[in-house]
Structure 1
Amino acid sequence: MKGLRETDFAYQAVYRYLTTLINESIGHGHLRLPSLRHLADRLNVSISTIQYAYSLLEKEGRVYSVAKSGYFAVPVSSTDLIQSGNDLLETVYVNARRPGMFVLSADEPALLQPLDSPLLLMERELLRQYPRQPLPTSQPFGELELRTALAARYTSSPVRCWHAEEVFIGADLRGVLEILIIVLGLNDATVVVESPCDWAILRLLQAACVRVIELPVLANGCLDFDRLKALLETESVRLVMVSSALNMPRGSLAPDDNRRAIAQLLGQHHSWVLENDCYGELCFEVGRLRFRDLLDPERLMVFSTFEKIIGPEAHYGYLLSKHFSADLQRHFLLRSFRLSPIRQKAIARLYGNGRIDQHLHVLRRLLKERKGQMTQLLQERLGDALQVVEPQGGATIWVRSLRQVNVRRVFQRLLAHEVVIAPGELFSLQGLHAQHLRLSHTLGSEHDLALALGFLGDALRLEAID
């Protein structure tokens, strides 16, 4: 079957096949899709497998059935794209979710090698082990087995150790960070963040009226020690947020000596530190020094998500904190996250049996290979237009235009060719990175990357500022 991975369930491959057919139908009205029997013969799977894939698409509103006529793709107008407006982020989001778009802005490393099949298999096994067990409708702090597994994974020594009661799991990372902002009283407080910074985090801080001071990452990947020192001495900084290892979207790693100097400076000022570990497992070189290896654990909090390494089937966010437990518990109770206990147990078992580590070994290798292919293509096709920051991990590449260009207009031009990029200004609240772009290198084979890069090169030349 075309596109079938060894770890797929058959219906998943059928689902992807049908999704491609539907995406190709945009602009062709009510396209009739293959019959159950015809598709079963074509793909060499059972009719029940085809039926299940169609039923999933029907629930999503992507297809509809007509008695005695079969299934049809739901037509999508090609004229309802949001191509202009003041909210650039909204425009990126809307267009990235449209069928048929080439999403060069994506940051989804796990989609290159998702762990959904082992996760779902483990879940099925656990459902047999725990038949009809009465389970609570809500788990305010997360499943104990998973919290214990995370505490063990983050423990590196008798001094730098964590316990299950210091781990909090929420339905998604956004919900966890919203609680943290409330508990820490960050409204109208001053927070220092690395820049560039994830746009979702910046928007959360902005919505909470947090005063954000951006600390730009230098060209060599270092954090500016003198700038941070001056900020800590002159500003009432409530919190400093740093990346555990990779700064994303740059994909760069601060040298160990710079990391030690920053950690020592933060320790001298007794600063609260929030470590972003969403990409900590995605460094190409394992065993790199992380901030939590250097900082006082009593002044440290860590947040992350499973989604970047497992995939969308594990969308939970989590937080590790040795303090504020009463307030955190109260707000997690008030939020009353509804989390699947069996799904959380399945994730915990994948950590416990070493399956996550095996998966990460393969995922890092694949990401590194794709990074090499993408950077080579960028240098060959756009070497005279873009400077590439060589990523040390992750699923994206940070590039800078060598000419002064209007990147927003570049973005708009590419939308006309059904290509979505992420302009660098999204990763700052203070107008930084206006000449930068984030590009994905984990792209499916259904799109022509060379053609998309050709469109990008044309747009960069046309929008150059004299």
Structure 2
Amino acid sequence: MKTSDNGEFAYRAVYRYLVELIEQMAPGSYSRLPSLRDLAQRLDVSISTVQYAYSLLEHEGRVQPVPKSGYFAKVPNSDIQPRSGGDLLQDLQQHGNSPRMLVLSGSQAQALQSLESALLGIERQLLRQYPRLAGAPQPCGELELRTALAARYTRSAQLYWSAEDVYLALDVRSLLETTLAALELHNSAVLVTTPCSWRLLRVFQAARIRVIELPLGPEGGLDLERFARLLRDEPVRLAMLASRLSVPHGSLMPEADRQAVARLLDQHGVWLLENDLDAELCYRPAAAGYLRELVDPQRLLVFSSLERSVGAEAPYAYLLSRQWQGSLHRHFLLRGFRLPPLRQQAVARLFNKGRIDLHLEQLRQRLHERLSHLYRQMQLHLGSQLDFRMPAGGACIWARVRAPVDTRPLFHRLLQQGLVIAPGELFSLSGDFRQHLRLGCPAGPQGDLQYGLSVLSDELQRMQSAS
């Protein structure tokens, strides 16, 4: 084998060069290394010499080859330690927000694009035309925004809304806390379909309200016999169901199930708390109707967030209710939410000008492209290890590990390699879905996704071999 000028084999010199290159990277980082051809030209050696050096590093576990993408460095992170007995959600949030981690846990959809510039432009225009708009905020939200939201949700002479039916809060958590306090659900239960957003589940948990979980079927349907039995035998006063798109499951409830659910809710006099957070993220908006169109509007509450449609610049949540006006108004007054009046009116103008509808159309298209790419890559790298479907909307894919593998230890093992996934048990208060995980596209280059899925596949193989 060719030697260098100092008598050292050339592959050893390339090996040392690569080791120093990796050691200069930030702990816990994941970075693409030079290609075989580029490194051969840079160091004036043959491609086979570089390939041999890479093979040594791969054998040592320092690099990861990704087909058609090259080699990626695997830099240990000394400050990331698996905490099998710790708070899983806290670990996910801490490491999911770290710029040094490759996050495959399902990023927020609105991070893809923002209406910030349009929103700020309208704010400046409003401030010039109406200087007094920056006055004292209203307790339930600005009239113009509440009017725009009421018009957006009005579908017919039977299912209509007015501005006085709309309540705004700082965010989804504060909105639900205030709503639950107004409903006074003491000594009763809330029925929730799972998997469900951990943010929503923990609002009920913090309010000390009993939660009865009803798992979704593979196609997004419900066990209707069990649903009817729970409504009959349990003190269920409120059912929280998705308006049409169930996230993170990524499914639409079949039409027959929607009809049956509406009949059962009416039969037992149970209120529907309709989760409309992700309805606008259906890839084919006309593919399914809304559950609220089938239930008694006198026992209907609908909630969502402007953050889903406008972006992080408008994190405000809203609730629609034609009943409980006195109690809701009193509790919103007591909370004293102070939402910026100018921003609310700017959002209302975006609705009225059709800018948000155009934005959502573009967002759905980008989400569908990204999730289609993720789905294809998962088929390529994980098709034999996971069961999953192409979602009907949203920004993530819900998957089940075929082998009996608990995704909590898998989560901690992946943290050591700078990779973040969302274990399935986070989406249930009763500890269900331990063989499931939620995956989404990372924010970085395309090669990052391939690298991350390759690491996940390797860890699944190791855990299956060890079991």
Compute the TM-score of the two structures, normalised by the length of structure 2.
0.81
Secondary structure in structure 1 of the residue aligned to 2:308: coil
Deviations 1:181-229 (A, max 9, x none): 1111134421100011110111111111111111110112112211110
Distance 2:139 2:195 in 1: 33
Question: 1:247 is matched with which residue?
Answer: 246
Letter aligned with residue 158 of structure 2: V
Distance 1:235 1:382, change over 3 A: same
1:23-62 correspondence runs (5 A) = 26=26
Q: Which amino acid aligns with 2:195?
A: P
Partner of 1:273: 272
**Deviation for aligned residue 1:99:** 2.3
1:334-379 Cα offsets, whole Å, 9 max, x none, are 1111111111111111110101111111111111111110000000
Q: 1:115 to 1:133 in 2, by over 3 A?
A: closer
| Equivalent runs, 1:33-432 vs 2, <5 Å | 80-81=79-80, 83-84=82-83, 85-131=85-131, 133=133, 135-136=135-136, 138-287=137-286, 288-432=288-432
Q: Distance in 1 between matches of 2:394 and 2:227?
A: 26
Deviation at 1:119, TM superposition (A): 1.5
CA RMSD of aligned residues (A): 2.0
Contact 1:104 1:419 in 2 (8 A): yes
Work out which of the two has the higher radius of gyration on C-alpha atoms and give 1 or 2. 2
- What is aligned with 1:4? none
Q: Aligned AA for 1:296?
A: D
The answer to whether the Cα contact below 8 Å between 2:102 and 2:442 also exists between their aligned partners in 1 is no
Check whether the contact 1:83–1:91 (CA below 8 A) recurs between aligned residues.
Answer: no
Q: Is the 8 A contact 1:406 1:463 kept in 2?
A: no
On the 8 A contact 1:151/1:167 being kept in 2, the answer is: yes
Q: Deviations over 1:236-268 (max 9, x none)?
A: 111111000111101100111211111111111
Deviation at 1:82, TM superposition (A): 6.4
Contact 2:81 2:415 in 1 (8 A): no
For the 8 Å contact 1:198–1:427, the answer to whether it is kept is yes
Rounded Cα–Cα distance in structure 2 between residues aligned with 1:252 and 1:110:
19
2:53 counterpart residue number: none
Q: 1:67-93: CA deviations, max 9, x gaps?
A: xxxxxxxxxxx6554641431111101
Q: Matched residues in 2 for 1:455 and 1:119: separation?
A: 40
Task: Compute the displacement of 1:324 (Å).
Answer: 1.4
Match in the other structure for 1:433: 433
Tell me, which stretches of 5 or more residues in structure 2 are unaligned?
1-23, 29-76
How far residue 132 of structure 1 moved from its aligned partner, in angstroms, is 5.1
Q: 1 or 2 for the larger relative contact order (CA 8 Å, sep ≥6)?
A: 2
What's the CA shift for 1:442? 6.1
Determine the C-alpha separation between the residues in 2 that align with 1:340 and 1:89.
Answer: 31
Q: Matches of 1:133 and 1:393 in 2, distance apart?
A: 37
TM (normalized to structure 1)? 0.81
Change (3 A) 1:304 1:447: farther
**Separation of aligned partners in 1, 2:325 and 2:82:** 45
Query: Within 1, Cα distance between the matches of 2:208 and 2:154?
Result: 34
The share of aligned pairs that are identical, in percent, is: 48
What is the letter of the counterpart of residue 254 of structure 2? P
Structure 1 Cα separation of the partners of residues 355 and 134 of structure 2: 28
Q: Deviations over 1:434-466 (max 9, x none)?
A: 110001136332871111111111111222263
* 2:361 counterpart SS class: helix
Unaligned runs of 5+ in 1: 1-23, 29-77
Which amino acid letter does the alignment assign opposite residue 177 of structure 1?
L
1:397 CA drift (Å): 0.5
Call closer, same or farther: CA 1:461–1:188 in 2, change over 3 Å. farther
Amino acid at match of 2:462: L
Q: Which amino acid aligns with 2:376?
A: Q
Where 1:452 maps in the other structure, the secondary structure is helix
Equivalent residues of 1:367, 1:394 under 8 A apart? yes
> Aligned partners of 1:81 and 1:298: how far apart in 2?
51
Distance 2:354 2:132 in 1: 28
Runs of 4+ in 1 over 6 A off after TM superposition: none
User: How far did 1:113 drift?
Assistant: 2.1
Cα distance in structure 2, aligned partners of 1:410 and 1:27: 20
Residues 102 and 264 (structure 1), Cα distance of their counterparts in 2 relative to 1, 3 Å cut: same
Structure 1 contact 306–314 (Cα < 8 Å) conserved: yes
* Counterpart secondary structure, 1:448: helix
CA contact (8 A) 1:303 1:318 kept: yes
Instruction: Return closer, same or farther for 1:132/1:27 CA change in 2, 3 Å cut-off.
Output: farther
Task: Provide Cα deviations, 1:134-188, integer angstroms capped at 9, x if missing partner.
Answer: 600x421011100000000000001100010110000111000001111111344
Mapped contact 1:101–1:419 kept (Cα < 8 A): yes
